[in-house]
Amino acid sequence: MRDIKSLIRTIPDYPKDGIMFRDITTLLGDAHGLRQSIEMMTAPYLDKGVEVVVGIEARGFIVGGAVAEKLGTGFMPVRKRGKLPWKTIEQEYTLEYGTDVIEIHEDAVSTGQKVLLVDDLIATGGTAGAAVKILQKAGADIVGAAFIIDLPDLGGRALLEKSGIPCHALMQFEGE
């Protein structure tokens, strides 16, 4: 097995000074690394009865779509406010400076439907936590959350797990 962590590009001081941005586009461009990542993200959920994968805008769409295909399920997007054309359920969440809102279509998931939440990276857990709240409002049974990268020092994964959502990440970058 190849070290997929070596396929992640780190960009210092982006989008602002002091941030080490973890860029997965270099991983996405490597066919073997991408395939291996999707297999590793999918493996813990093969026997969990996942019925739909929900991906968080925007890189979660890429990864989530591939995970859904591998699991043989449908895919639903979590988008920023105003991007979905049908009736929506929304959730506000806090950013470092201010707030934002994400949405899903009100018919994106059914009550009791087994859902896997997917994104490329978990940092503070703000967006993922908001996605969990939306899915819970819709009545979904969230079987887990899967990420390529976990930044454990920022506490997002711990926050999700504290709220009862089992998490899986392929790698960690500590000291962020």
Which residues lie below 8 Å from residue 108, measured CB to CB, with a gap of 6+? 52, 54, 76, 138
Reply yes or no on whether 22 is catalytic.
Answer: no
Reduced to 3 DSSP states, what percent helix, strand and coil does the chain have, rounded to the nearest 5?
Answer: 35, 35, 30
Q: Which of 22, 69, 79, 96 is catalytic?
A: 96
Q: Which of 22, 51, 59, 79 is catalytic?
A: 59
Structure tokens at 139: 């009545």
Reply yes or no on whether 59 is catalytic.
Answer: yes
Q: For residues 146 and 41, is the Cβ–Cβ distance under 8 A?
A: yes
Instruction: Give every strand in the sheet of 52-56, ordered side by side.
Output: 88-95, 98-105, 74-80, 52-56, 114-122, 141-150, 167-172
Matching residue, tokens 């059914």: 110
Q: For residues 176 and 153, is the Cβ–Cβ distance under 8 A?
A: yes
Cα-based distances in Å from 148 to 2, 28, 46: 15, 11, 17
Residues acting as catalytic residues: 59, 96
